[in-house]
Chain A
């Protein structure tokens, strides 16, 4: 469980200093979130690919002007949603960097917040690493009818160890999320 997690403001500052690794981390951190917006809007994989590139190209050239560095994920969701809107052939709209003054069509705020939180939690799961990641994925992300026997077989562990291991892994997972600044899960 490393302690090298950078907050979004720190990540942005590192990007502005020219650190490629920070940019890579930003894409790894928010790539799923950004890519999923056009897919959820019903756009094709090809369209989603294009929108993904456009959004991060926009982010790259406007990072310096982003007013609130703690709202990066919200800005990415709104920008992506706007690119989906433009991609649909509608009139291009002004892209306003101030999140408070965005006038264009946006996703419902509660939906955007849900997606952002899920993105961060999923990122926390990635940081957890195997074998805990594999176990929690099997228990929470895989089809509900996957019984303990099948999970134990797939992960090569004893059925009787699943309960205690789940508890231990879950505690580690929560600790990682707290380190990432996520302690509340309102809205779920």
Chain B
């Protein structure tokens, strides 16, 4: 036996501790005589440990489906009749900075949970041209997550004609792919629904574009 090459059955049986004392001893003698046999046994044992110690958790199917759908949104062709592509490329832009985030200051946030388990986040942004307040509402219903973005735009030093009716869009963060677009009402209010993710918000006021980058909506 010690002169015969070890079979995979013997190696696997030895690695699993299934051999009798005599059989195991013969395997060990063979390993001593043949370093390659020893390497093979060690390799099998390592691969067995990799499998046996794997405590990873698979994501739920709906989460996987949602993540795969991100690609379709990102690679969708530009909407034919949307002027956003032209606006994003040509007009003057301002970046609005965050002045309030209820997630950082939970004590002042006024978190509330409605009957449908809504989680509310409030954000405020400011630029030279306008202030934008956002309320992000996450609602869990029947295992599905819906995220609503309600906003209010307040233009600084504008005439009555520019108090509302601004085009506004949510784009996939870091890209120009529009996920949702709306027009504010006459008072500058708007509402949009999007899946969880990170977005850039763009708002067109006069001939200028106000951009809020990297809004984490979840």
Contact = CB atoms under 8 A, between A and B. Distances in A.
Interface stretch (A5-13, A25-33, A101-109): A25-33
A163 B13 contact: yes
B174 interface: yes
Interface stretch (B58-66, B79-87, B108-116, B125-133): B58-66
B9 interface: yes
B103 interface: yes
B53 A61 contact: no
A89 interface: yes
Interface stretch (B24-32, B41-49, B161-169): B41-49
Contacts of B47: 121, 173-174, 185, 188
B218 A50 contact: yes
B51 A62 contact: no
Interface string A51-78: 0111011101110000000000000000
B173 A33 contact: no
Interface string A157-188: 00000011011101101100000000001101
A141 interface: yes
A96 interface: no
A35 B173 contact: no
A54 B196 CA distance: 8
B110 to A, nearest CB: 17
B117 to A, nearest CB: 10
A60 B70 contact: yes
Contacts of B173: 57-58, 61
A54 B13 contact: no
Given A33-B56, A54-B197, A141-B54, A170 B68 contact: no
A54 B54 contact: no
B57 interface: yes
B172 interface: yes
Interface residues of B, number: 47
A41 B197 CA distance: 21
B118 interface: no
B68 A24 contact: yes
B56 A122 contact: yes
A39 B58 CA distance: 10
Contacts of B124: none
A35 B63 contact: yes
Nearest to A17: B75
A49 B74 contact: no
A166 B16 CA distance: 11
A61 B66 contact: no
A52 B9 contact: no
Interface in B162-218: 172-175, 195-198, 216, 218
Nearest to B54: A118
A122 to B, nearest CB: 6
A125 interface: yes
Contact of A53 (B58, B71, B195): B195
Interface of B: 7-9, 12-13, 16, 43-44, 46-60, 63-64, 66-68, 70-72, 74-75, 103-104, 140, 145, 172-175, 195-198, 216, 218
Given A32-B56, A34-B59, 17 more contacts: A23-B68, A33-B56, A35-B59, A49-B63, A52-B59, A52-B67, A53-B63, A53-B195, A54-B197, A61-B172, A61-B174, A118-B53, A122-B51, A125-B51, A166-B9, A185-B47, A188-B53
